[in-house]
Amino acid sequence: MREDRVNWFSKLITILTYTFILAPMIIIVAVSFNPSAAITFPPEGFSLKWYQNIFTGHTDFVTGFANSIKIAVIATIFDIFIGVFASLSVTKYNFKGKSLLVSFFTSPMFIPSISFAFVLMRTTASIKMFTPFTKILIGHIVIILPYIIRNTMSVLINFNWTLEDAASLGANPRQVFFKITLPLIKPGIISGAMLAFLYSFDEAVISSFLTSAKFTTMPIQIINYMEFQFDPTVAAIATILMASSLIIMLVINKLVGLDSMVN
């Protein structure tokens, strides 16, 4: 009898949790198809006018989306190169100051974004060669690096280094890395890259400090739009982004397997 009560309570908590997570998403999707400019739920009908407004209106969301993708992709690729080799160095070798170096690599996670954005803005203000794109890119490279390092290190902690030693008997270091080490730590790299990319794409604080009229990212475009307009266009954007994220997750699950990314 007691086990039945526990199971019933667990099911109830699970249902409430899923409802809490999914209900806002369902409401946003439904509102995005509302023909009226008012934010109402349930919607009064069905219309794709707000999706059309994203591409044909005077909002310039497409440019903001392209800028956000460009920043996120470049920053993530750059940090994969840095993060993987940094993780290998601090995990494989023991040296003085190792823990301090790890703390330094992960410190951007614990620094308030607004403080870092202000410092970066003041530092780069007098350097004319730094365009808004360059400033935002530098900021994103710094703040997303810990996600790649921490996820890669979580895999390397249980890594069997004797595999590299055995492989090195008949292969050069480059072959050992690409044929042995990289395939085994790939789940950590991919999960870290995913988190880094999504965080960079969604980041608004640093971008708001360093953006300009000539270069704005998607989050800044949305904030600027909502200052003067309050219609379901933003809900339509959110729906497209949620659908895109779902497709990305399904593709990654097909190619790599999400289960391997959390083990």
- pLDDT-based confidence at residue 259 (cuts at 50, 70, 90): low
pLDDT at 262 over 50: no
pLDDT at 255 over 80: no
Question: Nearest CA to 134 among 218, 223, 211?
Answer: 211
Q: How far is CA 17 from CA 21, 23, 42, 113, in A?
A: 6, 10, 22, 29
CB 234 within 8 A of CB 146: no
Helix-then-strand count for the chain, H and E: 13, 0
Tens of pLDDT, residue by residue over 150-195, are 888 888 887 777 777 677 777 777 777 778 787 888 878 888 888 8
CB-side neighbour CA atoms (13 Å) of 205: 13
Tens of pLDDT, residue by residue over 215-234, are 888 888 888 887 777 778 88
Tens of pLDDT, residue by residue over 72-123, are 999 999 999 988 888 888 887 777 877 888 888 888 888 888 888 888 888 8
pLDDT at 261 over 50: no
Tens of pLDDT, residue by residue over 16-65, are 888 888 888 888 888 888 877 777 777 777 878 888 888 876 777 888 88
Q: Please report where in the chains the tokens 């007098």 appear, as a residue.
A: 126
Q: Beta-strand (E) ranges in 63-209? A: none
Q: Please report where in the chains the tokens 């950590």 appear, as a residue.
A: 188
